[in-house]
Amino acid sequence: MAKVAFIGLGVMGFPMAGHLKTKGGHDVTVYNRTAEKAAAWVDTFSGKSAPTPAEAADGCDFVFVCVGNDDDLRQVTSGEKGVLSTMKRGSVLIDNTTASAEVARELYEAAKAKSVDFIDAPVSGGQAGAENGVLTVMCGGDEAVFEKAKPVIDAYARMVGLMGPAGSGQLTKMMNQICIAGVVQGLAEAVHFGKRAGLDIEKVVDVISKGAAGSWQMENRHKTMNQGKYDFGFAVDWMRKDLGIVLTEARRNGAKLPLTALVDQFYGDIQALGGNRWDTSSLLARLEK
Ligand code: NAP
């Protein structure tokens, strides 16, 4: 059993911190900016909470963070009451936020300066993956530190991989989002075309999903897309944040991402339609308006 802190009890962090306590059997202290969520977590999991990130992290072996973006991450780690102000020598900071590779490298160095280790560990699998403890975790950092952290991360994951040095987890997540952007746009166009052609979408998907056109998005999203239901899932605002990170990195490394850049603009159209919190499969909505 390890002494663990978890900072950020959002859609993802709340259940992930729960798995660290129930499945992992660790001694978990949580922090959340909005105190009501921390109180709800303490009620649900009979755990403990602290009033600041620094106090939650004090004396812990592992400190997990899952907040919104780079700035939020800097605030709860290197900020005045951030976790790095109290983390002990030899402890490990694990960041589950989807953030830039740049902030991951920056935190790796800031942690090292305090004899603390850092792993960037963004996740995929969505709310359901977090609730069922079956996330995919893409890690960047030192191998010995990864080996130490993996058994703890396993509490909320089905697949945990070390992809390379600090920042590599975030770069892997960027590849993941590039794949999703293109696949969802392709699926949206196919469903749009099928409807115009008078085809029975359910029947078509039943057949073509078994062949080369099949994908997770097709399996899990065709039904709701066909019904025009988008009030669930992975929010367009989050996807735009992620694609922004991707496009900035691509400008840095020279990668050409014409389709990703276009789909990012399409998501801008969805935001203009009021779909900020709609699922990413809502790309179909702009074709049908
Ligand atoms: P969320 O429900 O909006 O939760 C965000 C959490 O971060 C909340 O606990 C929030 O506190 C906290 N936070 C934000 N800014 C903060 C700050 N400046 N200081 C302190 N706390 C702060 O988001 P989520 O869906 O859990 O996503 C978290 C991360 O995982 C994001 O980077 C997202 O891109 C990534 N992710 C999400 C999914 C998904 O399906 N949702 C899938 C994969 C990856 P409050 O409660 O006070 O607002």
Q: Does ligand 1 lie within 6 Å of residue 234's CB atom?
A: yes
Q: Which pTM value belongs to this model?
A: 0.96
The residue behind tokens 């963070």 is: 65
Question: Residue whose CA is closest, atom 1 of ligand 1?
Answer: 10
Task: List the pLDDT tens digit at each of the 289 positions of the chain.
Answer: 999 999 999 999 999 999 999 999 999 999 999 999 999 999 999 999 999 999 999 999 999 999 999 999 999 999 999 999 999 999 999 999 999 999 999 999 999 999 999 999 999 998 899 999 999 999 999 999 999 999 999 999 999 999 999 999 999 999 999 999 999 999 999 999 999 999 999 999 999 999 999 999 999 999 999 999 999 989 999 999 999 999 999 999 999 999 999 999 999 999 999 999 999 999 999 999 9
Total Cβ atoms within 10 A of residue 193: 11
**The predicted structure's pLDDT at residue 228:** 97
**The predicted structure's pLDDT at residue 246:** 98
Domain spanning 3-165 has what CATH number? 3.40.50.720
Name the phi and psi angles at 215, rounded to 5: -160, 165
**The predicted structure's pLDDT at residue 243:** 98
Q: Where in the chain is the domain with CATH 1.10.1040.10?
A: 171-288
Q: Ligand 1 centroid to 198 CA: how many Å?
A: 41
User: Helices marked H in 46-167 — which ranges?
Assistant: 53-57, 70-77, 101-112, 126-132, 143-153
Rounded to whole angstroms, how far apart are CA atoms 75 and 52?
11
Q: Does ligand 1 lie within 6 Å of residue 44's CB atom?
A: no
Rounded to a whole number of angstroms, the distance between the first and last alpha carbons of the chain is 54
Q: Ligand 1 centroid to 73 CA: how many Å?
A: 10
> Which member of 21, 23, 114, 173 is catalytic?
173
Nearest-atom number in ligand 1 for the CA of 71 is 18
**The predicted structure's pLDDT at residue 15:** 98
The Cα angle at residue 215 between residues 212 and 220, in degrees rounded to 5: 145
Note if 112 is an active site residue: no
Is 123:96 a contact under the CB 8 Å cutoff? Answer: yes
**The predicted structure's pLDDT at residue 60:** 98
Q: Does ligand 1 lie within 6 Å of residue 124's CB atom?
A: yes
CATH number for domain 171-288, candidates 1.10.260.40, 3.30.465.10, 1.10.3720.10, 1.10.1040.10: 1.10.1040.10
- Measured CA to CA in angstroms, residue 148 lies from 34, 153, 161 at distances of 31, 10, 13
Q: Ligand 1 centroid to 97 CA: how many Å?
A: 7
Q: What's the 3-state SS for 202-229?
A: HHHHHHHCCCCCCCHHHHHHHHHHHHCC
Q: Does ligand 1 lie within 6 Å of residue 37's CB atom?
A: yes
Helix (H, G, I), strand (E, B) or coil at 180: helix
**The predicted structure's pLDDT at residue 24:** 98
Q: Does ligand 1 lie within 6 Å of residue 81's CB atom?
A: no
Q: Where in the chain is the domain with CATH 3.40.50.720?
A: 3-165
**The predicted structure's pLDDT at residue 244:** 98
**The predicted structure's pLDDT at residue 167:** 98
Q: Does ligand 1 lie within 6 Å of residue 106's CB atom?
A: no
Q: Ligand 1 centroid to 192 CA: how many Å?
A: 32
Q: Ligand 1 centroid to 7 CA: how many Å?
A: 10
